[in-house]
Amino acid sequence: MTSASIGVQADRPADLDLVRRLRDPALLLVPALAFLAFIYLLPLIDLIRISLSGPSWTSYFERVFAIPLYWDSLVRTMQISVTVAGLCLLFGYPTALLIHRSRGIAQVLIATAIVLPYFIAILIRTYAWMVLLGRNGPVNKMLVSIGILSEPVQLLFNRGTVLLGMTAVLLPLMVLTIYSSVARLDQSLTRAALASGAGPIAAFWRVMLPLTLPGMGAGFLLVFVAAIGFFITPTLLGGPGDQMFAMHITQQADSVTSEGFLQALGVVLLTITLAVVAVAGRFLGFEFIWGGRKLTEATPRTTDRHAADVGRRSLGAAAADVIGWAL
């Protein structure tokens, strides 16, 4: 055997090792990670750097929380976002169940009616609400024609229209998230509960609701995070007391002397968003938030102390059972 052939054989293990590494699917993520780092991470670092470039590193942030206008707007933004997320959950859950239980053309029509408006620009949908709820709009005309109102009233520029407009815009997010959770359910579990004598309400409360909690949590979080950054709908449908925090960011962006303070406003909103996600992930688990964890995985294993309390039921479950049996 010549020295050249010995060298070739010695290089083969290294070549095979390189080939195995190149076949690793994780390497396919490298271009995407590099692109996202360039598009998102670098601007984010620059945003934080400018927000800390004042006379002191906290000067711009102190101004944000020292001025009542911005603090009140921040609190108002949290209140509106939580309310909108709750309304989307209230209307989105039965809608997702309706889509899941429908069949054929009815299912297609209901799903299309929910999803299709999501592809229309928010500005167009907001102007549509302004036309519908205006003094000369169809809603006022209908209320006057049936005798509920004697003359058209002002339905716009209040907190109610802001909640209505934002809920209509973000409802598809909630419906799709909950529907994905409902679609993964094993329907034999509900049938087994009904066959065991549980009523519809008891079967829903004890079986379906716990199993769809991941989808509900994921939908609530997605809607809440999306609602925090809204400014078009509150600006057009709300009054002076309904302006959200993102509106002040857009106002500062129009000023050439707001560099530093503008970035501080953005960092505050970003920090709140990340904090909400972190808290939800800490207490619910990130798999729970994304809607991927099952009830058996989310529930801790039963210990000896818990085994002694197996027969004890919660008040809500007992009430649901009683009502369910009756119905």
- Residue 161: name the closest of 118, 132, 136 by CA: 132
Residues 6+ apart with CB under 8 A from 110: 95, 98, 99, 102
Query: How much is the pLDDT for 218?
Result: 87
- pLDDT of res. 87: 96
The confidence band for 72, taking pLDDT boundaries of 50, 70 and 90, is very high
Residue 112 lies in a domain: yes
pLDDT band of 315, cuts 50, 70, 90 = low
CATH of residue 209: 1.10.3720.10
Q: What is the pLDDT of residue 223?
A: 94
Mean pLDDT of 118-129: 89
Whether the predicted pLDDT of 68 surpasses 50: yes
0.75 cut: is pTM over it?
yes
Range of the domain at 233: 50-301+312-326
d(CA 237, CA 172): 20
Residue 16 placed within a domain: no
Assess if residue 27 is contained within a domain: no
Q: How far apart are CA 269 and CA 175, in angstroms?
A: 26
H helix runs in the chain, sequence order: 3-22, 29-36, 42-51, 59-66, 68-101, 104-115, 122-133, 138-145, 159-183, 187-195, 200-203, 209-211, 213-228, 232-237, 245-253, 261-284, 286-289, 295-298, 304-307, 315-326
Look at 201 and 324; give whichever has higher pLDDT. Answer: 201
In a domain, 3, yes or no: no
- The pLDDT tens digits of the residues spanning 131-166 come to 999 888 899 889 899 888 888 888 899 999 999 999
SS3 102: coil
On the 0-12 / 13-18 / 19+ scale of CB atoms within 10 A, 285 is middle
Q: What is the mean pLDDT of the chain?
A: 80
> Given a cut of 90, is residue 103 above it in pLDDT?
no
What pLDDT is attached to residue 300? 43
Determine, yes or no, domain membership for 39.
Answer: no
Is the confidence at residue 303, as pLDDT, over 90?
no
Which is more confident, 292 or 308? Answer: 292
Question: At residue 19, what are phi and psi to the nearest 5 degrees?
Answer: -65, -40
185-235: pLDDT as tens digits: 877 777 787 777 777 777 788 888 888 888 888 899 999 999 998 988 998
- Give the model confidence (pLDDT) of 271-301 as tens digits: 999 998 888 877 766 665 555 554 344 444 4
Measured CA to CA in angstroms, residue 95 lies from 104, 114, 134, 203, 213 at distances of 16, 9, 28, 18, 16
* 246 burial level (CB within 10 Å; 0-12, 13-18, 19+): buried
Q: What is the pLDDT of residue 160?
A: 92
Q: Look at the chain and report how many structural domains it folds into.
A: 1
For residue 108, tell me if it sits in a domain.
yes
In a domain, 217, yes or no: yes
Q: Is the pLDDT at 308 greater than 50, yes or no? A: no
**Residue 4 clears pLDDT 60, i.e. is over it:** no
DSSP-derived secondary structure for 196-226: TT--HHHHIIIIIHHHTHHHHHHHHHHHHHH
Q: Is residue 14 part of a domain?
A: no
User: Of residues 243 and 291, which shows the higher confidence score?
Assistant: 243
Q: CB count, 10 Å around CB of 180? A: 17
